[in-house]
Amino acid sequence: MERFLDIMWEYIYSAILSFAAMVDNLLSPIHNLTGPAFILVLLALTTVFSTKFLGKKCRTKRHIMLEEEFNYWLGVREEAMRCEDREKGSRMAKNIDQAKLNRAYYDYFLEGLLMSFATMYLPILMVLSYVNAYYRPERLMELTGREYIVQFGSSSGDPVFIGSLFFYLVSLVSSYIGWTFLKKAIERHRRNKIIKELNINHVVAAK
């Protein structure tokens, strides 16, 4: 198992290095035009879009099969709980849990966790590694003449310096929050539009 984890980490580390070099080549022409802050925000937005797309589109056949199996046994358990004899229904549900449902849930959860790592955590880790390697203080000094992204004042008068890694993480979290609010706003607009169309059709039908 340790040998397998070592090999897996070697592949992941090589992928991170290749990804970082590719991104740096793509972004090099616009470093002087926009500055690191804009690029870090752009990377955060790109990370969010990428993870959302991968999470929605990338699903293995095994994950789909395990989801169907879990939902099937969950339905069987719920059917057993609807038995008129509550004691008998509880015993049947317990037997289903021990025989099938617990195992189905464990396999489905583990497969989903691995999928989440591949579609969400790994992309974030790759971008974090890129930011940490290519926007370290020495590199920022070469690009901008300072070792930080932004500076804020403080109550004591001493300035607070925000580095690239922290700035990226704040941008990433803000992007995810913004995505959630935007999604809710779109769904609310779509729902209101459907309700409005139904009301118009009802009025027309009444006439």
Q: Give residue-wise pLDDT tens across range 29-74.
A: 777 677 788 888 888 998 898 888 888 777 777 777 888 887 887 7
With cut-offs at 50, 70 and 90, classify the pLDDT of residue 9. low
Query: Cα-flanking dihedrals φ and ψ of residue 191, to 5°?
Result: -65, -45
Long-range CB pairs of 171-176, under 8 A, 24+ apart, other chains included: 171/40, 171/41, 171/43, 171/44, 171/45, 172/44, 172/47, 172/48, 172/124, 174/44, 175/44, 175/45, 175/47, 175/48, 176/48
When comparing pLDDT for 11 and 117, which is higher? Answer: 117
- The pLDDT-based confidence of 5 (bands split at 50, 70, 90) is low
pLDDT over 90, % of the chain: 7
| Nearest CA-CA partner of 128 in 195, 197, 54, 43 | 43
- The pair of structure tokens assigned to 193 is 């539009």
Phi (first) and psi of residue 150, to 5 degrees: -135, 160
How many Cα atoms within 13 Å fall on the side-chain side of residue 165?
Answer: 10
pLDDT of residue 170: 92
* Count, residues in the chain: 207
Give the Cα-Cα-Cα angle 179, 180, 182 (nearest 5 degrees): 65
Mean pLDDT for the stretch of residues 161-172: 89
Question: CA-based Rg of the chain, rounded to a whole angstrom?
Answer: 26
Helix, strand, coil fractions of the chain, as percent rounded to 5: 85, 5, 10
Asked if pLDDT for residue 8 goes beyond 80, the answer is no
Q: What is the mean pLDDT of residues 183-187?
A: 88
pLDDT class for 1, splitting at 50, 70, 90? very low
As a whole number of Å, the end-to-end CA separation of the chain is: 73
Lowest-confidence segment of 5-14, 75-84, 101-110 by average pLDDT: 5-14
Q: Which residue has the higher pLDDT, 161 or 203?
A: 161
